[in-house]
Structure 1
Amino acid sequence: MAGRPPGPVLMGRLALLHTSPVHIPVFDALRDEDHPALELRHFVSEELLERARAEGPEAVADGVRAMLDRAVADGAAAVLCTCSTIGAVAEAARPGVPVLRVDRPMAAAAVAAGPRVVVLATVESTLGPTVALVEEEAARAGSPTAVRTLLAADAWDHFEAGDMDAYAHAVASAADSVTDADAIVLAQASMTPAQHLTTTAVPVLSSPRPGLAAGAAAVGMVGAAGGA
């Protein structure tokens, strides 16, 4: 006798640490498309990015830890940091649950694409942490990788003005100038819409979808292990 079809697999709660509220609808939409049983809770602190840009990511370590502790107290089984500038600081905090960088799966995919990787950012403070991440993934894979950077500083003015369409087109224009690479990494989650506007033949990689998938997997593994 056939049983009932299985329902959705329930997962634990995934907290997302953002430095801009613009990311909330993006990740909610991805959750609805790819992980409908996943419960998300969003924590936003724009001040963390502002200070990290001015003083360096390590200057906000205490603030990041405080946000992570809030997420854990709220019941998070894992935390996904969506800001590339503070991602390494978040990973190092160890609040008692897994903390993932949204851009790590993207960095691994860039390394797998070939030895020439361009890191494209609109905020200079993001370049160093993202380059270090790509190099870390290259070392892990044992793949010689040459990483170079490209800063689309003019695009950030559009972001701060709230003109996300102009922002995306400015990022896409910068990506289109790259021809001699195996992969272009969009270093900030906010840059993702440009992925669909570029005309370059070089693969353009973004972080939200693979990053959220990694977060969902972490929550599922924690739940299966009884919260360990």
Structure 2
Amino acid sequence: MLALLHTSPVHVPVFDALRDEVRPGLRLRHSVAEGLLDRARAEGPEAVAGEVRAVLEGAVAEGARAVLCTCSTLGAVAEAARPGVPVLRVDRPMAAAAVATGARVTVVAALRSTLRPTAGLIAEEAARAGAAVAVRTVLVPDAWEHFTAGDTARYERAVATAVDTVTDTDVVVLAQASMAPAERLVTTSVPVLSSPRPGFAAAADAAEGGGGTSRPSDGTARG
């Protein structure tokens, strides 16, 4: 069984569909903790580290063999929880793919709290690869308000428009899993990477005994 920690219920059907496509038969256990993201934004991710650890330990007690954290803001505290099984953050394979794509990486996010964790993750993967990478960040104005209001179409258009304005970069990273549908709307020739598919593939491998990996097993790119 693979356990997933989400901070929005919109991710549940997304990852169920990925399971059906990529790893049919794998049992998933979804935990949705919307309040964790609100607190992490207000007080910092470390403020909710104990609660994150409790959710992960509960999943392991119920039989999870690996855990996937789909929230980029909480990814680092989830990895640090160490509940006895592999814990993977959904954006790490994407970050590794970005480093492999080029030296100029642009992180696009709808939440300010996601920018620093994602840029830091790319720096980690660059250091691991021995690569020199320059990271810049772009915050999409008002996009998160569209998302929280349930207007996903407007949210995705706002993200795509922001991506299409990015120049002088080798690759664009969509910092949040919820941004992935915007890929189909972009017109840029620059590669655009999102996290759900490669992140899920790596976590499924870990849950089925293949061992956790931070290397992307199924990159997602446009360009």
Asked if TM exceeds 0.5, the reply is yes
Structure 2: gaps spanning 5 or more residues: 212-223
Q: Tell me what 1:14 maps to.
A: 2
Give the whole-Å Cα distance in 2 for the aligned partners of 1:151 and 1:65.
29
Runs of 4+ in 1 over 6 A off after TM superposition: none
2:118: which partner in 1?
130
Q: Partners of 1:183 and 1:221 in 2: how far apart?
A: 32
> What SS does structure 1 have at the residue aligned with 2:166?
coil
Superposition TM-score, scaled by structure 1 size: 0.91
The residue number in structure 2 matching 1:3 is: none
**2:142 is paired with a residue of what secondary structure?**
helix
- Match runs of 1:56-135 below 5 Å: 56-135=44-123
Report SS of the residue matched to 2:182.
helix
Contact 1:123 1:153 in 2 (8 A): no
Structure 1, unpaired ranges of 5+: 1-12, 224-228
Match of 1:153, SS state, is: coil
Letter in 1 for 2:163: A
**CA–CA distance in structure 1, aligned partners of residues 191 and 117 of structure 2:** 21
Residue 190 to residue 73, structure 1, CA distance change in 2 (3 Å):
same
Which residue of the other structure, out of 173, 187, 193, is the alignment partner of 1:199? 187
Opposite residue 63 of structure 1, the aligned amino acid is E
Among 17, 23, 28, which residue is 1:40 paired with? 28
- Give a deviation string over 1:66-121, Cα, whole Å, max 9, x none: 11111111110000000000000000010011100000000000000000000110
Structure 1 residue 153 displacement after superposition: 2.9
**Counterpart of 1:154 in structure 2: which amino acid?**
D
CA deviation vs aligned residue, 1:113-172 (integer Å, no higher than 9, x gap)? 000000110000001110000000000000100000000031111001100011000000
Aligned-pair distance for 1:222? Answer: 6.2
CA distance in 2, matches of 1:85, 1:130: 8
CA RMSD of aligned residues (A): 1.0
Counterpart amino acid of 1:22?
Answer: V
Alpha-carbon distance in structure 1 between the residues aligned to 2:75 and 2:141: 21
Asked whether 1:173 is paired with 2:178, we answer no
Q: Which of the numbers 150, 153, 159 marks the counterpart of 1:162? A: 150
Measured in 2, the distance between the counterparts of 1:140 and 1:22 equals 33
Cα distance in 2, alignment partners of residues 23 and 176 from structure 1: 25
Contact 1:179 1:200 in 2 (8 A): no
CA distance in 2, matches of 1:179, 1:200: 9
Using the TM superposition, give the Cα deviation of residue 37 of structure 1 relative to its aligned residue in structure 2, in angstroms.
2.1
2:209 to 177, 197, 221: 221
